[in-house]
Amino acid sequence: MLIPGLISISFRNLSVTEVIDQCRANQLPAIEWGGDVHVPHGDVEIATRTGEATRAAGLTVAAYGSYYRCDAEAKQPEFGDVLVSARALQAPVIRVWAGTTGSADTTAAKREAITSDLRRIGQLAAKQGIEIGIEYHANTLTDDPDSALTLIEAVDHPNVKLYWQSSNGKSAEYSLAVLQKLLPHVSHLHAFHWEFSGDDFDRRPLAEGQADWQKYLSVVATSPRPDRAIMLEFVRDDSTEQLADDAKTLHAVLKNAG
């Protein structure tokens, strides 16, 4: 089942209450709360209050979007702080990052350290009934589908999964092939549409990429998961009006995905 939602960092300028209001207005029941602004790592009081407010509004906490990078050399939150916030939020998934360098630039020793740390935090989170989801992102070990697949297989822990989003600067056909390869390991997805010109990009309305997203989600629909969310991100101009349009597009795509 695919559940439409929103990543709270799409609107860092809005309060928790305002993010919830936007989700209700646009029928986006799932929220990934970010660990930088809305639910800071380690602040149990804010996490508790945010989770309660989300559920009171009839919405679901889909995940806790942390900035933990599985790299001892990186400046980052302690995983213990991330875990207590996720538990207080009652988030079923914690999003983390696979290091700070791209797969081609990461030494074998660093890859092994990241792999071991992912296994470690997967075990810690499992004790709390929380899953780990690795961000699929450039400049990490998940910047390439083969590297991501090698990583998840090396971690070899049922509690550690992958996120997915379309690949920056790549064709829709490339992104679709990546999705098909990684789908058995994918938990949640991030949805947006960008146009690229060299290294420059422009956030565009999701409607301009509707045909691509129809292909993506039709594939995802073939591999059901009871709590998989597809959450909007990178809304053009950080506009709530654009969010409303993107939400309509997402609902239309989900209706036709089967």
Helix 145-155 vs helix 172-182: crossing angle, to nearest 10: 10
Instruction: Please report the beta strands in the chain, taking only residues with DSSP state E, as ranges in sequence order.
Output: 2-7, 30-34, 60-65, 93-96, 131-134, 160-164, 186-191, 193-197, 200-204, 228-232
Q: By 3-state DSSP, what share of the chain in percent is helix, strand and coil, each rounded to 5? A: 45, 20, 35
Instruction: For the chain, report the end-to-end CA distance as a whole number of angstroms.
Output: 10
What does the alpha-carbon distance between residue 4 and residue 236 come to, in Å, rounded to a whole number? 18
- Per-residue pLDDT tens digits for 50-89: 999 999 999 999 999 999 999 988 888 999 999 999 999 9
Is 199 buried (19+), middle (13-18) or exposed (0-12) by CB count in 10 A? exposed
> In the numeric block, which tokens belong to residue 154?
């090396």
Strands 193-197 and 200-204: antiparallel
CA dist 155 and 168 (Å) reads 25
Residue 47, CA atoms < 13 Å, CB-side half-sphere: 24
Kindly state the percentage of the chain with pLDDT values over 70.
Answer: 99
Question: In whole angstroms, how far apart are CA 105 and each of 33, 111, 153?
Answer: 31, 10, 20
Q: Give the pLDDT of residue 54.
A: 98
In this predicted structure, what is the pLDDT of residue 201?
83
- What is the structure's pLDDT at 75? 80
Averaged pLDDT, 113-139: 97
CATH dotted code for 2-257: 3.20.20.150
CA distance 242 to 149: 34
For residue 21, what pLDDT is reported?
A: 98
CA distance 36 to 20: 17
